[in-house]
Structures are given as C-alpha cells and as structure tokens.
Amino acid sequence: MLSSNSVPRRERLIFALDVADAESARQLVARLGDAVQFYKIGLELFMTGGYFELLDWLKQQHKKVFVDLKFFDIPATVQAAVRQLAQRGADFCTVHGNQAIMEAAAEIKGDLKVLAVTVLTSLDRGDLDDLGFHCDVEQLVLSRARRALQAGCDGVVSSGMETAKLRAFIDQRLLVVTPGIRPVDNRPDDDQKRAVTAEQAFRNGADYIVVGRPIRKAPDPRAAAEEIQKTIAALFHN
C-alpha cells in the first residue's frame, strides 16, 4: 500500500535533529551531508536559543525544515504563529488542537504544509484511558485525520501502525508523516510504544518517516542514514 503522493525519494527521510544546542545541530548536519535532505527541529532546540537562526541556516544549506512545536493555543494566536513561520520558509509545521485551531492554521499557511498530530507514538491504550479517551487508538486516529482534512490541513502525523487504515478510509492525498521508527522491535525502556520499521511504515502508506535516535546514536550516523535511504530507494523509484 505504498503512497501515490509525489515526493522526491531522498526527502522521504526526515531526521529529528534532537540535540542540545544549535551548534551541535550544525555539526551533525555537516556530518550527515547529502544523506539527509529534510530535518525536524523541535522543542529541545527551541528552548536552547538560536532556533530561528538554525532554521534560516538550514534553508541556506538547501535543506527542507519541519518545525515540530505542536501549536496549541487560541485560534488567533496559532494563526499568527503560523503566519510568521510561513514567512521564514519552513516547509512543515505541526498543530495539536481542535477544529478551530486547525482551521485557523490552514487558512493562513500559504506554502507551509500544516500537519495535525493524531495520537502521539509514545501513547498506548492505557495512556488514552488515563487521558479520558474511551475509544481505541485506531478510531481516535481516523477521527482526528478526517477532521484535519476537513479543516484544510495538508496531512497528519501518525504512527505506522494506523497508516494502513488512514490510506483505506481517508483521502489518498492526505500526507502521512510517521515518527517512532525503529530498526528492530522496541526495547522495553523505549518511550516509543507504537513503533514500526522504516519499511513497514512505507508499506503501510506513509509519505515520510521521522527518524532520530537510530541515526543519531549510530556509530556512523551518515552510514545509518544511507542505509535507510537504500530501503527507501528499493521501495520508490522517483
């Protein structure tokens, strides 16, 4: 069930640039070279200072940038934030709110692609019970994806475990970005509870995968990224 959305093959791998500071991020980007074309920058870097300077630098390096800050506030505030971000040249951003929040973000996004978070890959059935969601994970993911599409969002962030159902029951044009990628079965201490391999994610219909620790903690991060690129090349021919 490979996605039919047109995406440059080398951009299907998004590396989660979760490091301690912007200078460490630049060094890692230089080390990865052309093995990675798309980077996700999130909350850890946001809190260290130099976040937007790093975004600008990545764009100067001709990289694509996924700003993963999961905007959640009153709709007018989220809309203003998305407007500012679109002007900086970011490629993707995330929102994690209700219908009005998603609609406000989508209305002003321009060329920036807005992704709605469905259910975090660190959550399982027990966590949803704790949060008061009395439905199974799959139902919640499908419901949120439908609402995101209705709101004008470009896609969703979803575990690879639910991607096949998204492809079966939601518009094929919806972009699906899958985090929580692991090369093998999870260790018991891993905080990603609903994880899949890169190949499983794409065979289930993902357009992009987000990979962090399996690359960052590898003895040779560039070689690890290239191995994932080989997997992608075996599946997609564009």
Q: What is the pLDDT of residues 123-132, one digit of tens each?
A: 455 544 554 5
**113 within domain boundaries:** yes
**1 within domain boundaries:** no
Q: What is the pLDDT of residues 99-158, one digit of tens each?
A: 999 999 999 999 999 999 886 555 455 544 554 555 566 777 788 889 999 999 999 998
Q: Which long-range contacts (CB under 8 A, 24 or more apart) does 213-216 make?
A: 214/181, 214/182, 214/183, 215/15, 215/32, 215/36, 216/15, 216/16, 216/18, 216/19, 216/28
Q: What is the CATH number of the domain that holds 181?
A: 3.20.20.70
End-to-end CA distance of the chain: 16
Q: What is the pLDDT of residues 167-219, one digit of tens each?
A: 888 878 889 999 989 874 444 444 444 478 999 999 999 999 999 999 999 99
- Please answer whether residues 192 and 127 qualify as being in contact, where contact means their C-beta atoms are separated by less than 8 angstroms: no
Its domain, for residue 190, covers 9-235
pTM: 0.89
Catalytic residue of the set 70, 109, 113, 193: 70
Residue 55's pLDDT is: 97
Nearest residue to 210 via CA among 84, 67, 58, 81 = 67
166 pLDDT above the threshold of 90: no
Residue 50's pLDDT is: 94
Q: For the chain, what is the domain count?
A: 1
Q: Is 70 a catalytic residue?
A: yes
Amino acid at 141: V
9-13, 92-96, 184-188 — which is least confidently predicted? 184-188
**2 within domain boundaries:** no
Q: What is the pLDDT of residues 25-50, one digit of tens each?
A: 999 999 999 999 999 999 999 999 89
CB burial class (10 A; 0-12, 13-18, 19+) of residue 114? Answer: buried
